[in-house]
Amino acid sequence: MKKILLNVILIACSSFIYAQLSGDGTYSNPWRGTLFENQVWSGTKYINGDVIVDNEKLTISAGTIIIFLSESANLIITGTGQLEAVGTAEDMIRFTADHNDNGIYGETGERWGHISFQNMENAGPSLIEYCIIEYGDVTTAGTADNPYKYGGAIHAAFDDLTISNCFIQNNKAKFGGAVFVNQYFSPTINNCYFFNNESTRAGGGIYFWVGSESIVTNCIFNSNHCLEPSNERNSGGAICTQSGTSIKILNCTFVNNTTTRSAGASIELFGSLGSDIVQNCICWGNGTHFLILGDPHVVQYCAVQGAIPTGANNFQLDSENSSVNGPNFKATDGSDWSIKYVSPCRDAGITSEPELPLDFLGNPRIGPYDIGAFEVQYSRWKTTASSLDWNTDANWDGGVPTSSRDVV
């Protein structure tokens, strides 16, 4: 009898554990709770409360819209859970807030939590690619003892996470307005556009906590903000690194980011135990772009408006975009931060480690790297050409000329 009773209890407990996800993902009956099996989401899905991926895999198809209906709604990946949210350039996935379901995202008061990777075990890789993540807001949550509530769009306490080709915009947090990387974790971030995110303490775009060794490549940081009220050591309108980090920030473009502190409008590199590297980056807009606290950090081959940080081959940009010494972006309204052929940033960089064969748009890097996220596309006849044949790709840096490429 005892054995029968025990089996009944175990079955009941199992049903309780694996039947936590409630709702059907519609506006009238949104999801909340824990997945009990692998799932594939498509179309438009609604969440009201935490959805937890614990030991399962959640796959989100291209073009899916995930709408959060409350400020306390989060997508939490934990245990051995996996998230594969992979859109396409033409059909991106969107994570957003629309409490009244009127199709206008992020209206006054419409916010949600964030995507949080926390308490991970031996999980397989997770991938967030070609996604729009917007209107996350965890500014009223999170403490040093509970940092899982930091990161307005993404909290990353997981190494095997790649965030790629995403637009991350209009998010808010105490630390890491868009992304908070927890201590000793090192996700990969590449080819992303960070726009109008804000922190109330540090790292308007990204905050890297102690010990991270992440690599950030080919990203654009536009109009992100650090609103720290008093502490001069909390800054980084776009990026803030903490003590003991070894972050690489390669071929990124920083424009119009701000801080309420005296320096660090673009980047703060903090602490003397780490050795962060910033290389081949453009920093343009008002303010002092770097706050560097600690000696081992390296800033080199960067083009900076205003005060130039110490380092090899850094040079100053004018405040006027189209002047000879200006960055010469194709547009400054946010529509196109690629540089013109006449830009002093063209061919002014150095081959990075790791090498970056492609730029923000997926175009090849040609000859000496350009500074910034974009590579000017042109064809240049090699001095070591193997023949005189115009139509042989191997004779050209950048391939045989086309109507869309300059020839030099």
Beta pairing, strands 215-217 & 396-397: unpaired
Q: Which domain holds residue 389?
A: 382-407
Q: What is the mean pLDDT of residues 238-254?
A: 96
pLDDT digits (tens, 9 = 90+) for 268-279: 999 766 789 999
To which H or E segment does residue 17 belong? Answer: helix 2-18
* 393: DSSP letter: G
Model confidence, pTM: 0.91
Query: Which pLDDT band holds residue 380 (cuts at 50, 70, 90)?
Result: confident
In a domain, 239, yes or no: no
Q: Name the 3-class secondary structure at 177.
A: coil
* 211: DSSP letter: T
pLDDT digits (tens, 9 = 90+) for 95-115: 999 999 999 999 999 999 999
In a domain, 329, yes or no: no
In a domain, 389, yes or no: yes
Determine the Cα–Cα distance for residues 37 and 49; give it in Å rounded to an integer: 19
In a domain, 390, yes or no: yes
- Residue 264: C-alpha distances to residues 202, 238, 303, 398 (Å): 10, 9, 15, 36
**Nearest CA to 204 among 289, 267, 110?**
267
In a domain, 398, yes or no: yes
Determine the Cα–Cα distance for residues 223 and 154; give it in Å rounded to an integer: 18
In a domain, 394, yes or no: yes
In a domain, 258, yes or no: no
Domain count, the chain: 1
What average pLDDT does the chain have? 92
